[in-house]
Amino acid sequence: MYAKFFGLKHEPFSIAPDPRYLFMSDRHREALAHLLYGVGGGGGFVLLTGEIGAGKTTVCRCFLEQIPRRCNVAYIFNPKLTVQELLKSVCDEFRIPYQHQGPGVETVKDYLDPLNEFLLKTHSVGQNNVLIIDEAQNLSADVLEQLRLLTNLETTERKLLQIILIGQPELRTMLAQPELEQLAQRVIARFHLDALSEAETAQYIRHRLAVAGLARGKLFDSQAVARVHQLSRGIPRRINLLCDRALLGAYAEGKGRVDSDIIEKAASEVFDITRVLAPPREPAGRMPAWGWGLVASTTVLGVAGMASVAWLQHRANPAAEPVVVAKAAPAPVVAPRSVAQVVAAASPVAAAAPPSAPIVVAEPVLKASAEIASLFSSKQGSERKAWLELAPLWKLTLAEGDPCAQAQQNQVHCFRSSRGLGLIRQLDRPGIVTLNDENGRATYALLTALNNDRATLSMGGVSRTVPLATLLKLWRGDFATFWRAPPGYLQSLVDGNAGPLVDNLATRLAIAQGEPVTADKRTYDAALKAKVAAFQQAHGLRPDGVAGPTTFMQLNRVTGVDEPRLRAGG
């Protein structure tokens, strides 16, 4: 409701899990590194703890997007279960069939035996298995003991099940109890996710405003940012709640900038706290703090329409993480190369195959292949046809010949990557994905829309929306797209470069950071490289200080360069 007032395209501090707003601080990156280390650490437990809203789910979802391909994942997000319910949930997540043996009621053995058989069989074909339990502080002592027993299954080289426990700080206290000492000794990596520092809080606020479309200037003065950090304690979710309410308050008062006084008022409403100092006397014509709710309600009911519903919902449900990468659906197998390999892998012989053989694949993959096949019918999409179908979205007209060479004449470059879904969400642009058709041949389709659980693919003007899990089973992460390069761009900038391209980079970085733009001639020196690295870190890129395609793509998005975006519908 206030976005247009501040010159924004979106409301920047929604607590909805929008991947466009992904912000990975050094702490989040280190936490992610611990999880990735744990997967290859030979089994046992990995522990990730953090305050409510600190970004644990953000890290977990990033981890799921980077998990090795020969790794089966089971994700339990509601751990308030009995031992039997937990084992049943684990079997369901790994898609392990089970049935009750003998008379009487079901027992733990009905689930434990097929689970053990699954772990041994998948290990024999070179797969790892990971069990992730979120909100693990809610696990009971007997369930924790059963989890410890699950890690007893091992070979001479490694344990067959890796368990990742994610929870609030009290999880550490639980595992410090004497009766859980055996489990605590099996923790091979642990990390506590601290809150953002004051500098990171400022960077986080700038990042979200830039993604929302703020071209220049600052909406929060320095004192307001410092107070946001103090009141939010550096917790991203609390930062979002407070900044969103502060922008609404500034809008209600007709102010174009948020100061510390507005932050205080917003905090008293969002966090239900009493200001330490008495509020200053209100100047004539200025709306008192108590009037915010009335103006907001009137605006919502009278002007915002459907926006009012979203606003009320997010005020009433502050449970979601502020910035997240959508969770990849748990998949028990790696994508096969073709349907023929799926059928071959499903045979009894495949279970005894060496690690290089195709992996045992269940019925869902066959169904996934059929869903993709229904999109393409008898057609096989070539890579060139896919580029030609992508070109109109970039207002390009391509003739015969190399599509990339023709596009470059219009200062549009081709970009290719195999880094998968995580990078696609960061770059937020339609592109070409490489799939495998029923004959094992490479098939190229456009990815045009994406949300947390659905993807829309297009070929030859025919589109189909499929579950994201379907796409992930038949796609190895290859992605190609166009991007608009600045004038004079030929390759990544490195130390010592100078000229118009470097000046252009410095100007766009200043706009992105809300800093003054100067006409000074610049050299790609240590200072400019540091600014590039800081921008890269804030936008989820590797902070190497090298200004290459992905850095310019993110700059394009932040500074409003006209490039197509992925639709969110999916």
Give residue 562's pLDDT. Answer: 87
| Dist CA 109 CA 116 (whole Å) | 10
Q: What is the mean pLDDT of residues 155-164?
A: 82
User: C-alpha angle with apex 561: 555 to 562, nearest 5 degrees?
Assistant: 140
The most confident of the ranges 63-77, 126-140, 279-293 is 126-140
61: alpha, beta or left, given left = phi > 0 and alpha = psi -120 to 50? alpha
Q: What is the mean pLDDT of residues 324-338?
A: 36
Between 348 and 222, name the one with better pLDDT.
222
Between 136 and 541, name the one with better pLDDT.
136
Give residue 228's pLDDT. Answer: 95
Q: Which residues contact 438 (CB under 8 A, 6 or more apart)?
A: 338, 339, 340, 369, 373
Using DSSP, state whether 162 is helix, strand or coil: strand
| The amino acid at 178 | P
Lookup: tokens for 404: 């990339």
Which pLDDT tens digit goes with each residue over 71-105? 889 999 888 889 999 999 999 999 999 888 777 78
pTM, 2 dp: 0.50
| Other beta carbons less than 10 A from residue 68's beta carbon | 12
Lookup: tokens for 401: 């010949």
Identify the residue whose tokens are 């089994």. Answer: 43
Q: Which of 246-250, 365-369, 502-506 has the lowest mean pLDDT?
A: 365-369
CB 192 within 8 A of CB 169: yes
Between 467 and 1, name the one with better pLDDT.
467
Using DSSP, state whether 17 is helix, strand or coil: coil
3-state secondary structure 168-192: CCHHHHHHCCHHHHHHHCCEEEEEE
Bridge partners, 44 (sequence order):
162
CB 45 within 8 A of CB 151: yes
Give residue 229's pLDDT. Answer: 93
* Rounded percentage of the chain residues whose pLDDT exceeds 70: 77
Give residue 71's pLDDT. Answer: 86
pLDDT above 60 for 379: no
The pair phi, psi for residue 476, each rounded to 5°, is -95, 5
CB 544 within 8 A of CB 533: yes
Identify the residue whose tokens are 């009012």. Answer: 308
Name the residue among 219, 227, 220 with its Cα closest to residue 264.
227
Which pLDDT tens digit goes with each residue over 176-203? 888 888 888 888 888 888 888 898 999 8
Q: What is the mean pLDDT of residues 227-249?
A: 92
| Other beta carbons less than 10 A from residue 98's beta carbon | 17
| Dist CA 51 CA 172 (whole Å) | 12
pLDDT above 70 for 335: no
pLDDT above 90 for 165: yes
How high does pLDDT run on average in the chain? 76
Q: In the structure, what pLDDT confidence band is assigned to residue 224 with cuts at 50, 70 and 90?
A: very high
Tell me which DSSP letter residue 320 carries.
Answer: S
| Dist CA 389 CA 384 (whole Å) | 9
Give residue 21's pLDDT. Answer: 78
| The amino acid at 28 | H
CB 137 within 8 A of CB 174: yes
Q: In the structure, what pLDDT confidence band is assigned to residue 373 with cuts at 50, 70 and 90?
A: low
Give residue 97's pLDDT. Answer: 92
Which pLDDT tens digit goes with each residue over 432-459? 998 865 555 678 899 999 887 788 998 8
User: What is the DSSP secondary-structure string of 512-532?
Assistant: HHTPPP-----B--HHHHHHH
pLDDT above 60 for 309: no
CB 115 within 8 A of CB 83: no
Identify the residue whose tokens are 């912000």. Answer: 23
| Dist CA 522 CA 124 (whole Å) | 58
